[in-house]
Amino acid sequence: MNRAEIKQLPSRLLLFLILLAVTAAMLAPLVFMLSTALKTTKEMLVYPPRWIPEVFAWSNFRELFANSDIKFGQQYANSLIVAVFSVVGTVISSSLVAFGFARYRAKGSGFLFMLVLSTLMLPYPAIMIPQFLLFTKLGLHDSLLPLILPSFFGSAYMIFLLRQFFTTLPGELYDAGRIDGCSEFRLYWNLTLPLAGPALATVSIFSFIWSWNDLLSPVLYLDSQENFTLPIGMAAMLSSKFRIAPWNLLMAASLLSTLPIVVIFALAQRRFVQGIVLTGIK
């Protein structure tokens, strides 16, 4: 170790301690959530709370699925159905619109693109009431379809992300494809989408997280407990039908609800970072 490295040692040590403190502060809620999820009902009410349970109540996770008043398994499945189909709808619809804006130039196309982006300024309540009336008249109230169908009509933000990525693809590739006899749809399906893996991963993760965490739409459209998604189902666990709020079961549910997001991000982390970087180049 040379003299310059020795001089930098105190500052590096201070930086390491700061990062360690920030990491501990961010992990503390997760550790407390896991601790509460493994406590019995009696120990859950002890004050001040203990970080390490006396008895690890792994049965809380089994009770979470077995309790007929909670129906956690059904709600988990409903959330997965809504999230997966929302991702499929968002990726297909947004990529088609973005491909059109990125690869074709026509009079007024720039204005149309700005018009699409301007919808980002619309507050959700301005769309919520007409959308609710529409789905009610279609007889889709109290079903999962109102949570899924809007994703098949595109998202302005996702269109923007994908359009920014598509514009970075060289036009020579498309010229070569047309010479080889590719139709415009094949240029989109066989050429653009395979090259857009990072951007599509970014859009998929954003769409999944948004749909998975959405509480307002399920509250608006769903009435029966069998159709509840996780956010509204977990909120219902704090209702008056429980004499004492089952915080241990709620923390167990919270722990399980984070798993899909963690797994998806862990699997797609590299492509997600690439997508953020590449879509921000232009």
* pLDDT tens figures, 185-225: 999 999 899 988 888 988 999 999 999 999 999 999 998 88
* The two three-digit tokens of residue 111, written as one number: 């204005």
Q: Is the entire prediction scored with pTM above 0.75? A: yes
Q: How many CB atoms lie within 10 A of CB 24?
A: 10
Q: What residues contact residue 14 under an 8 Å CB cut-off, 6+ apart?
A: none
Q: What are phi and psi of 236, to 5 degrees?
A: -70, -20
Average model confidence (pLDDT) across the chain: 87
Question: Rounded distance, CA 272 to CA 269, Å?
Answer: 5
Give the whole-angstrom CA distance, residue 224 versus residue 41. Answer: 28
Main-chain phi, psi angles of 51, to 5 degrees = -75, -30
- Contact status, residue 225 vs residue 236, Cβ threshold 8 Å: yes
* Contact residues for 74 (Cβ-Cβ < 8 A; gap 6+): 226, 228
Q: The domain 63-278 belongs to what CATH superfamily?
A: MetI-like (1.10.3720.10)
* Residue 35: pLDDT over 80: yes
How far is the C-alpha of 19 from the C-alpha of 144, rounded, in Å?
43
Would you place residue 282 in the very low, low, confident or very high pLDDT band (cuts 50, 70, 90)? very low
**Predicted confidence (pLDDT) at residue 2 exceeds the cutoff of 50:** yes
For the chain, the structural domain boundaries read 3-56, 63-278
Supply angle C-alpha 70, 235, 54, rounded to 5: 70
Instruction: Identify the pLDDT of residue 91.
Output: 95
> Residue 251 above 60 pLDDT?
yes
Convert the pLDDT of each residue in 61-100 to its tens digit.
Answer: 988 888 877 889 999 999 999 999 999 999 999 999 999 9
